[in-house]
Structure 1
Amino acid sequence: MSAASSMTLDQDDLEDKATIPDGPTYDPMQVSLETSEHPQHISSLRKWLAVVIISSSALCVTCSSSVALFTEESVSKEFGVSHIVTILAISLFIEGLGLGPLLVGPLSEVYGRNIVYRVSYSLFFMCAFPVAFAPNVYVYLIFRFVMGFCGAAFLSVAGGSVSDLFSDDTVANPMALYTISPFIGPVLGPLISGLINQNLYWRWTFRFQAMWIFSQLIALYLLVPETYVPVLLKRKAYRMRISTGNPAYWAPLDKQDKHLMHAIAVSCYKPFQLMIFDRMALLLNLWTSLILGILYLAFQAFPIIFQRGHGFSMRATGMTFLGIGLGMVLSISSQPYWNKLFRREAAKHGGEAPPETRLIMGQLGGILVPIGLFWLAFTTYPGIHWIVPIIGSVPFGAGIYFVFTSTFTYLVTAYRPIAASAMAANSAMRSSFAAVFPLFAGAMYDKLGTVGATALLAGLTTVMAPLPFIFHRIGPRLRKNSRFTIS
């Protein structure tokens, strides 16, 4: 049973009585969930089906961010704008993804997960049409931003659904599936975009995307149950009041003095307060932001490397991103090893491993990312076979998974009292980096060349690589002195 479902009334509240005018007096009665009613006790098939749908919805959202890549040239010609303006279709979408969690996080804690999923994904679907049928570049870019904002629920709220459905002992594998989905999405986007735009009109890219979004929306409505325990308790209390005629049944959410606007205001300033006053959170956020920025910069760099350097077609260039995707898939296959490692560390510390244990995975990721980038940098010459730089992107993709999984789990466990704000801070910063990096990619590669530009990025990740090693060693001391973390 969750902590929310075991909340009790204050002593003063217990002395109050619920009354009906000219009728009997009732003792307040708090409802609780039966074991069979708890989301962790529904069948494994239904739980995994829900996780797969939530994860594929997150994949669809992030795929939408990069699917605009190979539409840029056609959009530029049709609307009479420069190439840098068309890149904004990706940048604005990502910025919407970063800002959306500041709103949907508080909403999910008041109204539950499902209503947020359904409303946000319905709006996400509706906004796909103005993009696909945009009469001018202004409508096109505005609704790309709104699409990102609406789809953000699956980068902030969805992780809560996964943890609602599974106990701490069994959540690692479903959480790993959910964690990798938003990072496979951007890699899948250029592949889909290249296949469509090789032979079809650019608007078909977004028409196809709308059809995919619609299928996900139907699955969300039909197959994903509400999992947020406080909302389930509130609904049960309402049913009990209606069926018995007794108004004294209550749930903890009924008694909480929820001010939605205040919650939204807190969710907006708390993440930035955390980054200003806690250097450990700031540096970890900066690390993940740099890596995500490089991933999105690659959407502009790979066409330069493979289309211009190796003469690839649009479709073939889209397929070059499969190396990054393969690295991510290979890395998630190592999850059983990490689960065993975390259990062993937990046994050494009385059943609960310190948060710094999670950074061990980040240490491997911190090494793999610069290795992959340096490999890619020095094999981009046209005289070197094209498969060599693609192989070099495999450790880069694997490192991305290890870095993000490690950092996310560390932020949630180390900053448990304000875990939502810690994740919102990370989301806002990394989305800002990912939005900006593609805008200067072309100029940087023209100025420095494919070797110099990629090596510069590899050097920056090398500078940041020691962070998980440092925080693994001194993290407990830093947490002890921080007002935001658990000691």
Structure 2
Amino acid sequence: MVNLLAESVFGQLARTFSGGRLLQSHLQEPDFDIDNVQLTKNEEGDLVVGWCDDNDPENPYNWPFSAKVYVTFLLFIMTMSVYMGSSIVSPSIPELSTYFNVGTTTATLSMSLFVWGYGFGPLLFSPITEISWVGRNYPYIICIGLFTILQIPNALVDNVAGFMILRFLCGFLGSPVLSTGGATIGDIWRLEGGFMNGLAFWGFGACGGPTLGPLISGYAVMKLGWRWSIWPLLMLNGLVWILLFFTMPETSGAAILSKRARRLRKTMKNDRIKSESEIQDSALTTSTLVYNTLWRPFQLTFSEPVLLCTNLYIAYLYGIIYCFFEAFPIMLMGNHGFNVGEMSVAYISGYIGAGVTCLFYCLYNNKVVLPRFLAGKWRPEYRMEPTFLGGVFFPITLFWFGWTSFSAVPWIVPLIGFAFFVSGAFLLFQGLFAYIGENFPKYHASAFASNGLFRALVGGAFPLFATQMFNKLTLQGGCSLLGGLAVLLLPITFVFYIYGPKLRAMSKRTGY
């Protein structure tokens, strides 16, 4: 059974500084039989370390259900708290504009730069977490720790340049869980043992997180000023970091086996004992890492039509999500007389929409997806089935929100439309992300880094012109324009569903 405290970063440091006396690892326990460790000699004469057997307790797939649920919850709360950081400044934008004596568009950059930061972050962090001696845990701990610390100068800074730079750095440092959280889910859950629902729950945090940001800061900003759009991030992420530091175990099987190899080399005094990932990492050069980090994501994007179309679809959807942070003040404060706090509470409708949809999506996984997998009848194109509904929701809810935003229409009506919009966004994200992963299993880190960059660049850009667009075209005209463009994207998922096998056959990089 995994000991969360012993296998956390705190436990590892405690063992190191106590000479192995405190919080012993599985191999150090008195009743552990070292003869059970699997060592296989390869062609080079190295003894390659493997799992002891199918029930090896250090294998994350064999952890107790409660431990897996707990780790999944940590990923959820970590993801949600970072995504909240992008939109949490939304209620304070008018005050930021006044305080720093800048235009509203410049003040909105505080949201855009954060989003751009977590778009560029995965280009660096995704490949690093695949290195066996790094693993998943240390990037989480170090980056979330720095992310939390930076909230202090971010809340205290008195010049606009410093504020904007810190916002970008916070987004950049918050990105590891956004880029590798799905991989961590795959580390601990087998396909037939909860992977799909774990991924859906993590995706709920990603999809619902931005809608919680204004809810957390709205009344605080109204009563205490713009700095209280930042202090809640310090409090929440400080708590998250403490939980990670003391209770988050390493989940990467490659990293765990590398640690096992290091312990066995020391115990058995044999330098030929290695893990498979250590052997692979020894061949990794700086030029290869730079290629994988900076060039391959772009190469995949512009050479693979499936990835390019998916990136465009998700990026546009992401941009619309951030347009709502400009539309809500116009609709609720301008047309219905809400104050900042009341308007911020209204965003919870989107979170509720995502949560309810997540529950139904998990039922769909259990009743439809999993039986197909177990029967051997699965193909990646089936991932498009939920996106059909999400794709229809996308334009319809934009028209719904825009044309019910008049002051004569009860405010609850457009909020229901927003809830269905976020529901559709959740279904599109789940289906298209899974489709990318199944199409490019050998290059999933680069494919997801590419997608993350595309959606962040667009998502960060849309708020910069959204207010001007809505003021010029009205909410009705602006939402109609956005909804009409969404209609043009609707055929993409149907094309993938019908012609997906042919598109994969034309590619040299797809691996399903």
Q: Which TM-score band applies after superposition, normalised by the shorter structure?
A: over 0.9
Partner of 1:131 in structure 2?
Answer: 154
Match of 1:206 among 230, 250, 254: 230
How far apart are the structure 2 equivalents of 1:180 and 1:439?
26
How far apart are the structure 1 equivalents of 2:272 and 2:301?
44
TM-score by length of 1: 0.93
**1:7–1:308 CA distance, 2 compared to 1 (3 A):** farther
The superposition leaves residues 185-244 of structure 1 with CA deviations (integer Å, 9 ceiling, x where unpaired) of 100001112121121122122112101111000111111100111111111111111122
Residue 475 of structure 1: how far off its partner (Å)? 0.6
Worse-superposed segment, 237-246 or 220-229:
237-246
In the alignment, is residue 417 of structure 1 matched against residue 442 of structure 2? Answer: yes
Partner of 2:301 in structure 1?
Answer: 275
How far apart are the structure 2 equivalents of 1:278 and 1:370?
26
Residue 112 of structure 1: how far off its partner (Å)? 0.2
Alignment of 1:43-192 (within 5 A): 43-110=64-131, 111-170=134-193, 171-192=195-216
How far apart are the structure 2 equivalents of 1:91 and 1:381?
28
Residue 248 of structure 1: how far off its partner (Å)? 2.4
Partner of 1:477 in structure 2?
Answer: 502
Residue 113 of structure 1: how far off its partner (Å)? 0.2
How far apart are the structure 2 equivalents of 1:277 and 1:31?
38
The superposition leaves residues 44-93 of structure 1 with CA deviations (integer Å, 9 ceiling, x where unpaired) of 11111111011100100000000011111222222111111110000000
How far apart are the structure 1 equivalents of 2:185 and 2:419?
28
Partner of 1:18 in structure 2?
Answer: none
Partner of 1:382 in structure 2?
Answer: 407
How far apart are the structure 1 equivalents of 2:445 and 2:501?
21
Residue 250 of structure 1: SS of its match in structure 2? strand
How far apart are the structure 2 equivalents of 1:415 and 1:153?
20
How far apart are the structure 1 equivalents of 2:473 and 2:368?
43
In the alignment, is residue 243 of structure 1 matched against residue 267 of structure 2? Answer: yes
Residue 312 of structure 1: SS of its match in structure 2? coil
How far apart are the structure 1 equivalents of 2:463 and 2:456?
12
Alignment of 1:203-352 (within 5 A): 203-256=227-280, 257-260=283-286, 262-334=288-360, 335-346=362-373, 351=376
Contact 2:323/2:463 (<8 A) preserved: yes
The code of the aligned residue for 1:67 comes to I
How far apart are the structure 1 equivalents of 2:153 and 2:408?
44
Residue 259 of structure 1: how far off its partner (Å)? 2.3
How far apart are the structure 1 equivalents of 2:442 and 2:190?
19
Partner of 2:424 in structure 1?
Answer: 399
Partner of 1:23 in structure 2?
Answer: none
Partner of 1:32 in structure 2?
Answer: 50
Partner of 2:32 in structure 1?
Answer: none
The code of the aligned residue for 1:31 comes to V
Contact 2:197/2:365 (<8 A) preserved: no
The superposition leaves residues 1-22 of structure 1 with CA deviations (integer Å, 9 ceiling, x where unpaired) of xxxx9997653x13xxxxxxxx
Residue 31 of structure 1: SS of its match in structure 2? strand
- Runs of 4+ more than 4 Å apart: 5-10
Residue 223 of structure 2: SS of its match in structure 1? coil
TM-score by length of 2: 0.88
Contact 2:148/2:233 (<8 A) preserved: no
Residue 401 of structure 1: how far off its partner (Å)? 0.4
Residue 260 of structure 1: how far off its partner (Å)? 4.6
The code of the aligned residue for 1:385 comes to P
**1:195–1:8 CA distance, 2 compared to 1 (3 A):** farther
The superposition leaves residues 135-192 of structure 1 with CA deviations (integer Å, 9 ceiling, x where unpaired) of 2111100010000000000111111111101111121121111111011110000111
Q: Runs of 5+ in structure 2 lacking a partner?
A: 1-36
How far apart are the structure 1 equivalents of 2:220 and 2:494?
44
Residue 384 of structure 1: SS of its match in structure 2? coil
Residue 357 of structure 1: SS of its match in structure 2? helix
Give the number of equivalent residue pairs: 467
How far apart are the structure 1 equivalents of 2:50 and 2:63?
17
How far apart are the structure 2 equivalents of 1:330 and 1:260?
46
The code of the aligned residue for 1:455 comes to S
Contact 1:102/1:264 (<8 A) preserved: no
Partner of 1:461 in structure 2?
Answer: 486
Q: Over the residues paired in the alignment, what is the CA RMSD in angstroms?
A: 1.7
The code of the aligned residue for 1:272 comes to F
The superposition leaves residues 463-485 of structure 1 with CA deviations (integer Å, 9 ceiling, x where unpaired) of 11121111100010011001221
Q: Runs of 5+ in structure 1 lacking a partner?
A: 15-27
The code of the aligned residue for 1:363 comes to F
Contact 1:368/1:399 (<8 A) preserved: yes
How far apart are the structure 1 equivalents of 2:303 and 2:261?
41
Identity %: 31
How far apart are the structure 2 equivalents of 1:425 and 1:413?
15
